[in-house]
Chains A and B, each alone.
Chain A
Amino acid sequence: MSVPVGHYQYDQVDRDFLEARIAEFSEQVARRIDGSLSEDEFKPLRLMNGLYLQLHAYMLRIAIPYGTIDSKQMRMFAHIARRYDRDYGHFTTRQNIQFNWIKLEETPDILRDLASVDMHAIQTSGNCIRNVTSDEFAGAAADELVDPRIHAEILRQWSTLHPEFTFLPRKFKIAISGSPHDRVAARFHDIGILARPGDDGRTVFRIFVGGGLGRTPIIGQEIFDAVPEERLLATLEAIVRVYNAHGRRDNIYKARIKILVQALGIDAYREAVEAELAQMDLEHYRLTPEMVDAIQARFAVPELSAPDNAAQELASKRRENPEFDLWVRSNTHPHREAGHIIAVVSLKPAGGIPGDATSAQMDRLADLADEYSFGELRITHLQNIVLGHVRQDRLYALWSSLKEVDLASANIGLIGDIVACPGLDYCALANARSIPIAQKLGARFGDASLQAEIGALRINISGCINACGHHHAGHIGLLGVDKRGEEFFQITLGGRAENGASIGTILGPALPEDDTVDAIARLVDRYLGIRQKGETFLDTLDRLGDAPFKEAAYETV
């Protein structure tokens, strides 16, 4: 396959740039090792290249722009896991991958291997515009209005190494979706963008600013409802400039754009952006239809064709095999093209580590992508993997292959689809371990029929207030807190990241780990006992408030 489906095709300029950047970093690593750079001098340099020092080793975070990779790139991850790490990697909520056992001296070699498949680790750390995230069903979903990846790529190019924006007051995260169903948590980003078709056939953008999780969770507010395509870059540039000029650099806890938007108010922020726009050279930032079309041309479009009986084939397989039927119900999404379907591969086996995949699984996923989905894979912000364009009559064969490598858990959007950050097992900032409690909960609710019975229910777990596991946005959120060196968990209920975003409210005092697992089990039991027909957990919570759940959770404590 020469032009990859689903992501941008690098050219020589891109490749030369990466090569120069790796040469520079190799030099810096050598100078760190021989002592000519101190740790204080080196740290910002390694962070700019995605290299963190965690509890047990260095961690390398690799950018996956808008979450899309091809099978060659996935095989490279498998190779890195085998050759330089401990045979696995961790997919994150920002659609990136992290390797946990990296050696400083080997990092330049890893970056060279990555560059050979047009990948890198730039802008995955530091106070810059981070990897732009997007809808995992982009270009495939039946409910999509506009494929957001073209503009995501334009934003990637605009933000990459933007001279004004490499030293912002704090990190800056942008997400873009092209569907009326927000699958990117747009309102929890510094800038969230929802694209839709305009009257003239070109795209227009609804833009939110000042959302974020972390220490101070805030829902983004709409700054513009309909920015025309040609003004997109100018508008974003102006938004970031206002932030860059006024954002607080004196206090890292107050440095995010969300704090500035709160301080000024959305109307004053909008006025400041408009004032900035009024004095900018708009022509310079104009995004012309030709420019957009040129980027679009660098994406190959899958040639979809399915036999007329594809849907019947799928329906008959579902009737024959209830286990398969259950998986189809939770792990697929309607495709825009007849005879096709979107398959979501869960990285949340019961009792497993959310988001982790072994090199063997990565290799197998790459093969399956080649076989079933034009060699394309997407990483979701809920730490799963999507094969976007599967023929309905071949879905059963795909599922059968997934089963062989323990990747057929039927739990997408259900209680077993737990999002968890690395927590205290790896992370130097953590208060508590996130993974073991995720494993216990996953095992407790592992049964696929039980999960289907419970219905839509998201659990999100963060090991500290930085909220990498998005606990504020979980229907049930768990936050690890430290009580005299021991691990406790605070439970929040009612968060949601989708349309109608909201922040969960704290249920009561934090509990030790095992008590937390029991409390959640009682709380879920209570929900099953009091829900009305057809209600989801959130519906019941909205109707009755959290009192019944509080009572259940703290029953025996």
Chain B
Amino acid sequence: MKRPVRVGAGEKLVLTANRLLDGTIVWRDRLGQWQPVIGAAEKLDAEGVSDVLDLAQARAQADGVVGVYEVAVRDVDPPEPVTVRERIRAHGPTVHPEFAVETVQ
């Protein structure tokens, strides 16, 4: 998952991970806390992302998350991931609408 994320026009980056205890997908908010809804995620510019990413990765164990990485999103509210994969992570599996994940708190 280490390929660099391309950021197109009108796009931003958000940080994501899985919660260690139950695997729940989480998004990093502007206070550095991990939230289960993408609507809470802090949108970052391509230039600023690597510092925040390094910090978040360094704190992953203390924060109880695994596999921190960045995701390209359209700069709207709530942010909408650019790829199908990340849209499925943000919204839940498409084949079980009853497990849909909220995107705002």
Identify the A interface with B (CB < 8 A).
32-33, 35, 38-39, 53-58, 86, 102-105, 353, 424-426, 430, 432-433, 435-436, 439, 485-487
Contact = CB atoms under 8 A, between A and B. Distances in A.
Contacts of B61: 35, 38
B1 to A, nearest CB: 8
A105 B64 CA distance: 12
A487 B23 contact: no
Given A55-B88, A103-B23, A486-B84, 5 more contacts: A53-B67, A54-B23, A104-B22, A424-B84, A436-B95
B18 to A, nearest CB: 6
A56 B85 CA distance: 11
Contacts of A105: 21-22
A54 B92 CA distance: 12
Contacts of B23: 53-54, 56-58, 102-104
B95 A439 contact: yes
Nearest to B82: A485
B18 A53 contact: yes
Nearest to A105: B21
Interface string B64-94: 0011000000000000001111001100111
Contacts of B92: 56
Contact of A56 (B67, B82, B89): B89
| Interface hub of B92, B94, B95 (most chain A Cβ within 10 A) | B95
A35 B21 CA distance: 12
Contact of B93 (A53, A426, A486, A487): A426
Nearest to A54: B23
Interface string B28-70: 0000000000000000000000000000000011100011000
Contacts of B89: 55-56
Nearest to A55: B89
B104 interface: no
| Interface hub of A32, A53, A55, A425 (most chain B Cβ within 10 A) | A55
A337 B61 CA distance: 60
Given A35-B61, A353-B95, A435-B95, A55 B25 contact: yes
Contacts of B84: 424, 432-433, 485-487
Contacts of A353: 95
Contacts of A32: 20
Contacts of A38: 61
A533 to B, nearest CB: 39
A33 B25 contact: no
Contacts of A55: 25, 85, 88-89, 93
Contacts of A54: 23
A104 B85 CA distance: 23
B20 A104 contact: yes
Contacts of B21: 33, 103-105
Contacts of B18: 53, 57
22 contacts: A33-B20, A39-B66, A39-B67, A55-B89, A55-B93, A56-B25, A56-B89, A56-B92, A56-B93, A57-B24, A58-B22, A58-B23, A104-B23, A105-B21, A105-B22, A424-B88, A425-B96, A433-B84, A433-B94, A436-B94, A439-B95, A486-B84
Nearest to A439: B95
Contacts of B93: 55-56, 425-426
A57 B22 CA distance: 6
Nearest to A58: B23
Contacts of A86: 96, 99
Contacts of B62: 35
A433 B82 CA distance: 16
Contact of A425 (B20, B66, B67, B95): B95
Given A53-B66, A102-B23, A424 B99 contact: no
A400 B11 CA distance: 56
A322 to B, nearest CB: 33
B99 A103 contact: no
A76 B33 CA distance: 38
B91 to A, nearest CB: 10
A105 B22 CA distance: 7
A523 B89 CA distance: 34
A187 B1 CA distance: 33
A54 B20 CA distance: 12
A516 to B, nearest CB: 15
B39 to A, nearest CB: 17
Contacts of A56: 23-25, 89, 92-93
Contact of B22 (A103, A435, A436, A439): A103
Nearest to B84: A487
B63 to A, nearest CB: 11
| Interface hub of A39, A102, A430, A487 (most chain B Cβ within 10 A) | A39
